[in-house]
Structure 1
């Protein structure tokens, strides 16, 4: 196995969260037995050649406009005064919002091991949603459930969480399983490589090992792209960085912001090539909770008008990604 002297991304081995109301769940980084070559060392990262179960189920969804969401109310209810019988009222009576998040994604949802708290753009969006329901900023109003990207639809279907805010791309197929807010952040897929690789884009990786997270839109793009790369799958994005650092893969591919987060953890890497996908991102809700989707859309509209969306973007994403205005919403129904 090719080893490099770089510092390994330690966040891939995050320990149990402390001093914060977080329920942890996720997969192991051990290599499945059938993914290892007989006699070879197990891969440190847990990366393995993508198997059928690493891909989302084949899409049977008709074409749609993924950005189209439900029309928000003309006026949001005042915090603490949710409409009787609504999803928001049930959350208010319970006393806390349950949010599915990541803890391994720089800029969006990352565990700060000094404080035991998760921070990032997605976490601030969760706080804004909780404030709109409860009217205060008490962290006790939110329970974070740490999940892998592949678990996002599952925890919504089971009712384990009220909402997932976890860099989730809106697709026509996913809209058959969960309900999405309007687009709250737009991005596109690119490639992260070692600075000495000579790679300038996805076409240079034909026949090469490219890491991404199982169950994502990113792994589907890699499988279907004519560049002819070899997709490798892991549970978490930091596992991909470890795989790249250890020479277990030749590149990592996902949206620009996620790659910039990995790059920030290793100065010997770089993001290359133009974006080769268009990916709107939404907050995801259980399908029956359409009133909560409309409420979230109303909150997003207000955040765009009062400048709070722009302030959050500039704080968390403006540096690595450059200027971007709020995405425009599209509504139907």
Structure 2
């Protein structure tokens, strides 16, 4: 009997611990925002002064590619060869284009494979490349400081950027669209006028939506945008369809909507003044188109965007 009384007392004590359900105080704390998230009202310029009009996607014509391990004396490529590795700025947060494989720890994706082809042309070995992870905002500063030889990171060629860095020919043609939660009612960019939209700082996407939406939130990485969308802190993400396809693949409760409303021509970023490296990279891209490598890389990574299109046609200014 004594044991039974003790058990009843323990049960009553357990049931009486804490307030009854009607008195439980609901949690109202807001979800934390990603580091360095900010609300912007205008797209910042990458450098002082207005960019002159230019034929942005016309690059330098390549010559014949030298054989691997036989780079011309005194060239930028010879300096890279002497070092023993190509240093390429890439992303690690954009699934399909440049991301870190959680199983292997390796950085993979369409952009990463383009960088590997440049290394292969210099060394005959695509593994002789050191990847440096860069955010969208870091791409130009890292090229200007010489921290990397090239940047291959969904980088749109613009007249504004050509004031600060050089570019290869176009290696991929993307376009900006919109990612929302399924059944949101938003069907394209025209539905964002009263919405909160997330973009990555330092991207052309910021310029393209800042005057079309109620609130623009800028964050360092596109995966930060996905988290904010999942937490209800933003209503949409708007950027290139290549990037959105990777985000949608990570969250089946999201969808890409609307038609492209911009043209985004991706180029390999090169430090300004290194024309020989620009011509060399263009030669690599020409070969990738001709021998089927470009189509094979597309098939490996970008089939969520549809069947492989023809590679972009090269345009040169000389």
Report the counterpart of residue 63 of structure 1 in structure 2: 53
The verdict on how the C-alpha distance between 1:230 and 1:144 changes in structure 2, with shifts beyond 3 A counting, is: same
Q: Deviations over 1:7-41 (max 9, x none)?
A: xxxxxxxxxxxxxxxxxxxxxxxxxxxxxxxx963
TM-score by length of 2: 0.87
| Secondary structure, counterpart of 1:125 in structure 2 | helix
Partners of 1:55 and 1:239 in 2: CA distance:
22
Report the counterpart of residue 124 of structure 2 in structure 1: 135
Report the counterpart of residue 102 of structure 1 in structure 2: 91
1:314-325 map, 5 Å: 314-325=299-310
| Secondary structure, counterpart of 2:202 in structure 1 | coil
Report the counterpart of residue 260 of structure 1 in structure 2: 245
Report the counterpart of residue 182 of structure 2 in structure 1: 195
Of the three residues 69, 80, 84, the one matched with 1:80 is 69
Root-mean-square deviation over aligned CA pairs: 1.7
Partners of 1:115 and 1:286 in 2: CA distance:
31
1:138-217 map, 5 Å: 139=127, 141-217=128-204
The verdict on how the C-alpha distance between 1:229 and 1:327 changes in structure 2, with shifts beyond 3 A counting, is: farther
The verdict on how the C-alpha distance between 1:180 and 1:253 changes in structure 2, with shifts beyond 3 A counting, is: same
Question: Is residue 231 of structure 1 aligned with residue 216 of structure 2?
Answer: yes
CA contact (8 A) 1:193 1:251 kept: yes
Report the counterpart of residue 10 of structure 2 in structure 1: none
Question: Is residue 332 of structure 1 aligned with residue 297 of structure 2?
Answer: no
1:292-307 map, 5 Å: 292-307=277-292
Q: Give the gaps of 5 or more residues in structure 2.
A: 1-27
TM-score by length of 1: 0.83
Shift of 1:51: 5.8
Structure 1 stretches of 4+ with a deviation exceeding 6 A read: none
Partners of 2:49 and 2:245 in 1: CA distance:
29
| Secondary structure, counterpart of 2:290 in structure 1 | helix
Q: Give the gaps of 5 or more residues in structure 1.
A: 1-38
Shift of 1:322: 3.4
CA contact (8 A) 2:31 2:231 kept: no
CA contact (8 A) 2:43 2:210 kept: no
Decide which moves more: 261-270 or 58-67.
Answer: 58-67
Shift of 1:61: 1.4
Of the three residues 79, 85, 100, the one matched with 1:90 is 79
| Secondary structure, counterpart of 2:169 in structure 1 | coil
CA contact (8 A) 1:55 1:220 kept: no
Shift of 1:48: 2.9
Report the counterpart of residue 284 of structure 1 in structure 2: 269
Q: Deviations over 1:212-250 (max 9, x none)?
A: 0011100000124xx334211000000000000000000
The verdict on how the C-alpha distance between 1:239 and 1:54 changes in structure 2, with shifts beyond 3 A counting, is: farther
Q: Which has the larger radius of gyration?
A: 2
Report the counterpart of residue 109 of structure 2 in structure 1: 120
Question: Is residue 49 of structure 1 aligned with residue 49 of structure 2?
Answer: no
